[in-house]
Every structure is written in C-alpha cells, then in structure tokens.
Amino acid sequence: MTDLTPDARPKPLSARDLSLWLQSEQPLRLVDVREQQELALAPFPHPVIHLPLSESERWLPALPGLLGEDADLVVLCHAGVRSWQFGCWLLARDPQRTVWNLEGGIDAWSVDVDPNVPRY
C-alpha cells in the first residue's frame, strides 16, 4: 500500500461532534459504505449517499456526480474501518477534498448519540 501523508488521511470525527454538525447550518454530505443488509439492520437517521463497497463497479463511474464538490464529506460504516479506507482512497484521488471519518461508525453513533439505532 502506498504511504499516505497525514494530509491524505480522513479527519477523525466523533459521533457527538457529527451530531452537533448535523444540527448546524454547515453543509456536509454523509456517505455510508455499508452493505444493504447493514443499512436494513441499522439505518443512519439522516440522509446518506449509499455506496456499498462491494458494489463499487456499479457506482464508481458516477462517483464525481454523486459526491458533488460543494460540501465536506463524512464517510461512515459499521465500526469506522471500511469508511477510513474509502476516505483514504478518495483523498488519494482528490487531495483537495475535505473528508471526515466517523470514528467507531454507526456503532459509536448508537452508543454515544442515538440508542434507537440498533447495534449489530
């Protein structure tokens, strides 16, 4: 794997900080890379761009249009690992973009912000 400079890594974002951000007027796009069955188990309670990593061949050609350029991206998954990898991949292709990774993923969201979101 290519060595990444610190600037080429997603910025860490806690579930509590994301909750505050979602209550503010600051624009952001949420990108959920979990699989469809994971979304069915524990949907994120805000609109997301759903890009399951296993289906990248389907959405990859349309990725620039799906993500837009006008807002920071917050990537999330179950525990924050797949989303971090996806964030690194995005930054390797577009280092000017601002990408945040939800630390602990939807599981941290369930524990720290919204216990109504099921844990799995």
pLDDT computed for residue 1 by the predictor: 39
Contact assessment for residue 86 and residue 21, using Cβ atoms and an 8 Å cutoff: no
Beta carbons within 10 angstroms of residue 71's beta carbon: 13
pLDDT computed for residue 7 by the predictor: 62
Residue 51 structural domain: 6-112
pLDDT computed for residue 70 by the predictor: 82
Catalytic residue among 74, 77, 88, 90: 77
Q: Does a structural domain hold residue 120? A: no
Q: Does a structural domain hold residue 87? A: yes
Q: Is 77 a catalytic residue?
A: yes
Q: Does a structural domain hold residue 119? A: no
pTM, rounded to two decimals: 0.91
Phi-psi group of 39: left, alpha or beta (phi > 0 → left; psi -120 to 50 → alpha; rest → beta): alpha
Q: Does a structural domain hold residue 20? A: yes
Please state, in angstroms and rounded to a whole number, the distance separating the CA atoms of residues 42 and 118: 5
CATH number for 75? 3.40.250.10
Please state, in angstroms and rounded to a whole number, the distance separating the CA atoms of residues 70 and 16: 23
Q: Which of 26, 6, 33 is nearest to 95 (CA)?
A: 6
SS3 95: coil
Q: Does a structural domain hold residue 85? A: yes
Q: How many CA atoms lie within 13 A of 98 on its CB side?
A: 7
The total domain count for the chain is 1
* Tens of each residue's pLDDT in the chain, 120 residues: 344 555 689 999 999 999 999 999 899 999 999 999 999 999 999 999 999 999 999 999 999 999 988 889 999 999 999 999 999 999 999 999 999 999 999 999 999 999 999 999
Q: Does a structural domain hold residue 56? A: yes
Q: Does a structural domain hold residue 49? A: yes
Contact assessment for residue 103 and residue 75, using Cβ atoms and an 8 Å cutoff: no
